[in-house]
Every structure is written in C-alpha cells, then in structure tokens.
C-alpha cells in the first residue's frame, strides 16, 4: 500500500465504497487519457487495453486487486470486456487515507440544525421557506394518529435522508436537475472523504478536488458544479457538514462528529404533561431519536400549533419488552399520567395467554432464510419473530411467505 500514488489510493476507496466488482473502464479515471474523445469506431479492447496494462502493473501485481473473467457477462464479446476487478474486503482496513487532514483546529466548529427543525415544524403546519424535496417520500404527516414521513412510519434516519437529498438538490443549476445522479455523486463523494476523518480532524474544501474528479469521473459536470467549496458550503447550509476556520481557510467535516451538546438535556425541556390527558411535545428542542421513540408508541395530534401525544396500546404492546427500561419510558411512566396508566396495563397483561384466530406459526432454522424473511416482511403488524426460531403471521400472508421460501430454494413442510 505504501507504494500507491494518491490517485490509486482514491480509486481503491471508490471501489471500497461501491462494494462490488467493476470492469476495466472504471480505472479510466486514473490511467486513461485526460480528455478521452468518444468514437463509435473504437473497439472496447482498443480503447482500454493500455488502461488494463497499467491496472495489471500497478495494482494486480502488487497484490491489492483481484480480477477474473465474468462467466455470465451477456453481450460482452471480448475477453477484456468480460474481466471484472475486485478490491477484497480483507485488504480494505489497510487502505490509507487519500488526504492529509488538518489537525490544529480546536472545538467542534459550527453546524446548523435549523433546516431539520424547520422540517419538523411541517408537522404542525408551521414549516415554511423550505424547498420541496420529493414530497411523496419525505412529507411529514399524521395519518390515523401515526406520524409518517411519506408513507413510512417516522424514523430519524429518514429525516437525515431528506436532509442529504436537499443538499444534493441545492447543487442543481436548473429545477429539472434536482435529482440527477451527478448531484448525488458529488454529495456521496464528499461525505465519504469526510467520513474517513477522526473526531479532531478537518479537511479544507480545496483538498477534496482529487476525490471528486475520480469518484464522479465521466459525468457531465462543469467547473462550478465540481467546485468543492460550493459543494461543502451547500452541505453546511443544509446542516450536513460542520465548518471551522484555520489559517484563513474554511475547513469541513461531517456534522455530528462531536457529541450533541444537548444529549443529556432533561426530558422536561421538550416534554410536558398536558391538561387533556396527553403529552405536549416541543418540536424546536426534542432530540430526533426521542421523537422517533414516541412515534413508535403514541397517537399524535395537532392542537392549535402544538403537537400532542397519547399512548397507543397496540404499538406500546409490540415494543414494550424492548423499551421498558429505557430512560424515556421510565420518565413517561412516572411523570405523564396517561402513559403511566398505559404502561401499567401493558405490564399487567404481559405474558398472559391470548387466543388468536387465523394465526400461523412456522419454524425457520436457516439463518439466511430468516434474514430474507425479515427484510421482506419488516412490519411487525404482519410478521413477528418469536424465540427458538419461530415466526408468527396471519393466514393471509401464507402465500407470499411460501413464494419467497420456494424462490430461495427451500421447502415448506406443513404440519396438520
């Protein structure tokens, strides 16, 4: 690894991020001519044979890259087209950082969560001046008491996906370009490079230029779109990055590298019992994970400009065993009467025999099959994982489960 050039280290990082094999054209970004011109008359072999020579000489013979001929490469007629290259996972931990970080900066820098807080205010109808980012997937709404983002139950990770989509959209030059792959490539490249930093390290915007050129090679980007300073500034404005200043240059790293200064704030700062047997939530200060936890056990309602929560017995019962010792659950039990009563009822009923109709139970011993089922049926309202390799699901789901099991090469055995 010590003999690799900076460009070779960056291209291996790009391979690591892809987590899959690539063809020889992938390495054109470092071994090809600077301004390769497209030509219909040039064959694949003629175009990339010199690139392959350098890949073999610089990466394969040094033992950092594996290659083989793809046996299922349909439509690829020449041997060079069928070759695939892989950077093994076992080697990745030895890959050095491609950039020299700046360390002589103290403090967490400055980052803004104003965008996220404005987004949360969308729940109560107070969110304003926010660009519309894929409303179908990211609009916050309350349906049947459940807090949703798009059509999915609210999770903090969805909020951060919206934030990153906003960062990508901010790089578009035209409204129609909001979600072109180029914009996402730019943010992914910068995010990956900054994710390599330790908590005390920073990178100046200009240092990211070689990473962008390799990670986004071949895309139709002009100089303004590829300007690392503009990309990082947009990321900071959307709250994705933190920034600081050293030696008259602006430096960046991923937002949140330092612990949240409010992580130990008391629950009373953002939660308080209401007068109507409910809980009043302050969207301006509540930690996102606590909002997610409340959404998983509550019915939400907007009264005036306030978000209120009441316990949902069904949702609370589904997760009670995993959250009963959490600080938030204990605080709700001791300080909010409606939640205290609900928790007592769930605890009293826990473990008692309940008769279900049209409920089927199956035993799944194979771990890979269990993982596949869990991915396909993640909604606990449809399928529940039980101890000792058992699962339970409604009879109406039997056909879907049988099709999945058969597709994966397993056999369903029914017991009368």
Q: Is residue 99 part of a domain?
A: no
Residues 6+ apart with CB under 8 A from 166: 115, 131, 133, 238
Q: Is residue 100 part of a domain?
A: no
Residue 240: other Cβ atoms inside 10 A: 26
Name which residue leads in pLDDT, 349 or 203: 203
Q: Is residue 164 part of a domain?
A: yes
Query: Residues 316, 317, 320, 322: is their CA dihedral positive or negative?
Result: negative
pLDDT surpasses 60 at 133: yes
Per residue in 195-230, pLDDT (tens digit) is: 999 988 999 999 999 999 999 887 766 666 678 999
Residue whose C-alpha is closest to residue 298's, from 261, 265, 328: 328
pTM for the full model? Answer: 0.75
Same domain, 175 and 297: no
Same domain, 119 and 248: yes
- Calculate the average pLDDT of the chain: 87
Per-residue confidence band for 376, with pLDDT thresholds at 50, 70 and 90: confident
Q: What distance in Å separates the CA atoms of residue 292 and residue 381, rounded to the nearest whole number?
A: 18
Same domain, 136 and 70: no
Say if CB 185 and CB 219 are below 8 A apart.
yes
Say if CB 323 and CB 294 are below 8 A apart.
no
> Phi, psi at residue 306, to the nearest 5°?
-110, 140
Per residue in 62-74, pLDDT (tens digit) is: 999 999 998 877 7
Confidence at residue 136, expressed as pLDDT on a 0 to 100 scale: 78
The SS3 assignment for 309 reads strand
The residue with tokens 């101890």 is 387
Same domain, 127 and 249: yes
Q: Is residue 414 part of a domain?
A: no
Confidence at residue 340, expressed as pLDDT on a 0 to 100 scale: 95
Query: Rounded to whole angstroms, what are the CA distances from 405 to 112, 124, 327, 374, 389?
Result: 47, 44, 40, 12, 15
Q: Is residue 413 part of a domain?
A: no
Mean pLDDT across the stretch 94-98? 94
To the nearest 10°, report the CA torsion of 311, 317, 318, 320: 90
Same domain, 150 and 240: yes
Weakest mean pLDDT among 40-54, 95-109, 180-194, 333-347: 180-194
Residue whose C-alpha is closest to residue 283's, from 261, 312, 305: 305
Q: Is residue 192 part of a domain?
A: yes
Same domain, 21 and 141: no
The pairing of strands 298-303 and 271-273 is unpaired
Say if CB 228 and CB 212 are below 8 A apart.
yes
Q: What distance in Å separates the CA atoms of residue 242 and residue 232, rounded to the nearest whole number?
A: 9
Residue whose C-alpha is closest to residue 232's, from 111, 105, 99: 111
Q: List alpha helices for 77-129, DSSP H.
A: 79-82, 89-92, 114-120
Element (H, E) at 403: helix 398-407
Per residue in 229-286, pLDDT (tens digit) is: 999 999 999 999 999 988 888 999 998 543 344 556 899 999 999 987 899 999 999 9
Confidence at residue 260, expressed as pLDDT on a 0 to 100 scale: 46
Same domain, 384 and 339: no
Same domain, 216 and 133: yes
Confidence at residue 183, expressed as pLDDT on a 0 to 100 scale: 65
Number of structural domains the chain divides into: 4
pLDDT surpasses 80 at 128: no
Same domain, 161 and 122: yes
Q: What distance in Å separates the CA atoms of residue 213 and residue 32, rounded to the nearest whole number?
A: 13
Weakest mean pLDDT among 3-7, 66-70, 131-135, 409-413: 131-135
Query: Rounded to whole angstroms, what are the CA distances from 6 to 2, 3, 95, 211, 299?
Result: 10, 10, 11, 10, 53
Q: Is residue 173 part of a domain?
A: yes
Domain's final residue, options 57, 92, 127: 92
**β-bridge mates for residue 246, sequence order:** 249
Same domain, 141 and 244: yes
Q: Quote the DSSP letter at residue 173.
A: S
Residue-number span of the structural domain to which 296 is assigned: 267-349
Domain's final residue, options 324, 349, 374: 349
Same domain, 37 and 154: no
Q: Is residue 327 part of a domain?
A: yes
Domain's final residue, options 254, 285, 319: 254
Same domain, 363 and 278: no
Confidence at residue 254, expressed as pLDDT on a 0 to 100 scale: 92
% of residues, the chain, pLDDT over 70: 90
């Amino acid at each position: 690894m010590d003999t690799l050039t900076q460009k070779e280290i960056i291209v291996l990082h790009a391979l690591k991020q892809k987590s899959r094999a690539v063809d020889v054209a992938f390495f054109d970004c470092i071994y090809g001519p600077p301004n390769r011109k497209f030509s219909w008359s040039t064959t694949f072999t003629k175009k990339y044979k010199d690139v392959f020579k350098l890949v073999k000489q610089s990466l394969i013979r040094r033992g950092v890259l594996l290659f083989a001929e793809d046996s299922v490469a349909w439509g690829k007629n020449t041997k060079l087209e069928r070759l695939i290259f892989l950077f093994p996972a076992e080697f990745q931990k030895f890959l050095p950082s491609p950039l020299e970080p700046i360390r002589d900066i103290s403090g967490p820098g400055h980052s803004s969560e104003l965008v996220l807080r404005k987004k949360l205010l969308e729940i109560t109808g107070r969110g304003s001046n926010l660009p519309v980012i894929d409303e179908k997937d990211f609009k916050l709404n309350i349906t049947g008491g459940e807090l949703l983002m798009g059509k999915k139950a609210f999770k903090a990770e969805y909020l951060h996906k919206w934030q990153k989509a906003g960062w990508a959209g901010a790089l578009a030059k035209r409204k129609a370009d909001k979600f072109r792959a180029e914009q996402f490539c730019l943010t992914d490249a910068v995010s990956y490079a900054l994710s390599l930093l330790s908590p005390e390290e920073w990178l100046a915007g200009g240092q990211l230029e070689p990473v962008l050129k390799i990670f986004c090679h071949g895309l139709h980007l002009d100089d303004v779109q590829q300007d690392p300073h503009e990309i990082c500034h947009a990321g900071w404005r959307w709250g994705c990055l933190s920034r600081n200043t050293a030696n008259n240059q602006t430096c960046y790293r991923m937002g949140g590298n330092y612990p949240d200064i409010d992580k130990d704030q008391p629950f009373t700062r953002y939660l308080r019992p209401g007068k109507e047997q409910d809980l009043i939530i302050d969207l301006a200060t509540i930690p996102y994970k606590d909002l997610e936890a409340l959404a998983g056990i509550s019915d939400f309602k907007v009264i005036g400009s306030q978000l209120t929560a009441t316990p949902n017995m069904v949702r609370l019962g589904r997760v009670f065993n995993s959250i009963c010792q959490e600080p938030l659950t204990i605080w709700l039990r001791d300080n909010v009467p409606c939640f205290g009563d609900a928790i007592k009822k769930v605890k009293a009923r826990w473990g008692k025999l309940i008769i279900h109709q049209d409920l089927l139970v199956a035993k799944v011993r194979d771990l890979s099959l269990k993982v596949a089922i869990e991915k396909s049926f993640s909604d606990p309202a449809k399928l529940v994982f039980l101890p000792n390799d058992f699962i339970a699901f409604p009879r109406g789901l039997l056909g879907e489960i049988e099709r999945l099991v058969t597709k994966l090469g397993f056999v369903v055995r029914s017991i009368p």
